[in-house]
Structure 1
Amino acid sequence: MTYDLNHEGGRFGIGKLVRYWQRLDLKSQFLVVAALILLGSMAILGEWLSSQIAANQLRSRAESGALYMEGFLARHVDEENGRPLVVPERQKELDDLLIGTDLAKRVEGFRIWDKDGTVVYSTDKSLMGKRLPSEDIERAFAGTVVAQLEEHHDDQGIANEQTARPLIEIYAPIYRPGNHDVIAVGELYEEAEDFIAQRSRVQRSTWALVGATTLTIMALLYLIVRRASGIINTQRETLKSQLENAQALADQNRSLRRTADKARMDASKSNETLLNRIGSDLHDGPVQVLSLLILRLGQTSGAGNQRDELDPSRLASQVLSELRELSTGLVLPELENLSIEAALKLAAQRHEYATGSIVAAHYENLPEKVAHPLKICLYRVVQEGLNNAYRHAGARGQRVEVSADGSVITVTVSDKGPSPDQPIASAGRRHPLGLQGIRNRVEAFGGTVRIVHEPGAGTSLIVAVPLESNSA
């Protein structure tokens, strides 16, 4: 197996740089990015300004040289057969003006060119009559002033590191008197050391101004970002503190909810234990005593005597029946190991056994496990709903429907209402739980109870209980 060390090292270096960047705070990141952008932008701007200033300075010198040639030197050029001519007398005047004078200290050389590149006049007499065509001469004959800075150039056009000096080379058109026809081109070599020094001073001043502007902008932006970063950090700490407080409150609320749920479950369990105990006590105490009393009353009563409604033995039998019903309703069967569906089926079956009626039932998508107190609550709902259907509707159309959708379990106990010609069994009896007791139980689990009554269509008891906080 081979490894590309350069590739691995480069990747490691980039990853290290990224991690270092991520550790920087906001103002440091801004300072780095702003410095790179501003320095790059200002470098481009400074270079452009320097080049523009240098170009403008050179253009200004070129225009000055062109005006000088047009005003003082062009009058020495004559024309013969359409070609420029400098007669000997004019040549001598030009020599006296440009050679060995104070002007010669600034003007390194002067030439007059014909259109074909022939040197008509030159301060360097060895060049006169030679034909040296160039594009600059052609541009000048087209009416354009051409100027350029040459760092190493002498009057003969030969570079020499020891004798050559920087010069400004200017080509300017010489016009025919009275019109703008170009008859010749004047070439002027002007000393450029002062020009270069002045250009350097201007460029240094420009760069100093650009640098100072860059530093000022960066300082102002840094102060702004530093203040904004401080505000952001303060807000971040505040939000962090608020988030921690909210998290603590949420944890506390969850703890309180768990405590409340446990207390609710314990209360429901204690309530059922109490009801079971009351039912057992009723069965073992008053029911047994009334059974003995009925037995004694039966012995004292004559076998042939007709008992009326107020007969003590008959009254005692009615009390015994109601106490047995109360005892049976209060005492729950063992539901601990039953599923919710099995427990509710048991409630319907016990009702069928006790009343001799028929209950239609439908169960759908019920969970396998729910909290035991909820199981007891729903058992009581079905028990009370069927008891009401039996008492008030004569058991007509008794139906139990139980379904769950993952978040809510819904129990509906309905009937078709009483028949006009059908007597209702035990209409005046009282039930040990009642609808208000069912409502209290269901609301303790966060559920709702609705009773829907439609004349001629019966009554429905609808109970909905959330499963989220009541799962096993």
Structure 2
Amino acid sequence: MVVLGQWMSARITSSYVHARADAGALYMEGFLAAHVQELSDGRTALSDGKADLLDDLLDNTGLAHRVEGMKIWLRDGTIAYSTDKSLIGKKMPSSEVDAGFAGKVSSKIEQSPDKEHAGQMIKNYPLLEVYAPIYKEDSSQVIAVGEFYEKAGGMIAALSRSTRSTWVIVGAMTAMMAGLLYLIVRSANDLIVRQRYLLHRQLDASQALSDQNDKLRQAAELARMDASKSNESVLNRIGADIHDGPVQVLSALLLRPSDAGSVQRLAKHVLDELREISSGLVLPEIETVPLESALRLAVQRHRSATGTAVAERYTNLSMQVAHPLKICLYRVVQEALNNAFRHGAGLGQKVEAAIDDRQIITVSISDSGPGFAARSATDQTRKPLGLDGIRNRVDAFGGSLEIISADDNGAMILIKIPLAGNGA
């Protein structure tokens, strides 16, 4: 763009100077040629009359405000006329004069005096110096070359304004093109960045999905193994309950003779034991009741079975939830209370449950017993499902399990299960 601006400025200056030079040539041909025709007769200087006419033309017309000086050159470099009378008759060879006799118009801007103008009375610089051929009337013969000095201050000011305008236009075009290029490059860069970001996100998502699949596969395998262990624990518990209850009673009945009344009482006791065991395996009575009623049933059965007190507090549990979730919470409360009775002597048993504004079910089962650390790890009389069973049930519904215990300060089992995906 700098080269373009310089080229345009140079072209404008050159065109302007040549236009002024051509105008000067036309002036010489139209106004001066008639006064210098006598030079075609071999004269070396204009006659006094013709010289006076030229002086009057330059002094008393509008040219006086534009033209600083003028000369008429002969072919050999002799000055036949000059506004500076001291130069008339002198010979000063010049390449511009030679070009003028060849029929060419030449011009240049003089910013300050040079050696050619040393001693001349020209003072008002800068000047436009123009050389133009003067032809013999009705002929193509060049009889002289006219040189005049036009005051160039206004012209140079106009050229300066034109140059500034040119540079302003070039600068504006440069800025516009640079702006467009910037926008194009910026847009392309943003597109590349967005595509790279999307690719990274897709890659991260693919990796996360792969990791999630691995975790799900591992969780499924662990759940399968836990389910197998839980089933085995259930079978062991059922076997222990039957062995320690009805089987022992029946064995006692077989080992000692009894009267009819005694047999009837023992048979009734066996029947009650079997009914209690079977009631723990199926829960048809909680399918249609709200969650609060299902939890109250678990607590009521624990009271009936153990004869211990259990405090209860329920908040916002009147809504209906999915039956599998009710069974899960029922079994959790049932197993946690059994643990509280078995290991904590049933002291300070308490069940609390609520559904908060985030639709999360929170259930806590606590006691005032000795805590988990003080409980005997050797009590295998009736092996329960235990904490692993509770954890597996809660995990199946996307919930969390927290065990809070302190020595001689009781224990608490706290579970949280989201209703999202587990509703009615």
TM-score normalised by length of structure 2: 0.48
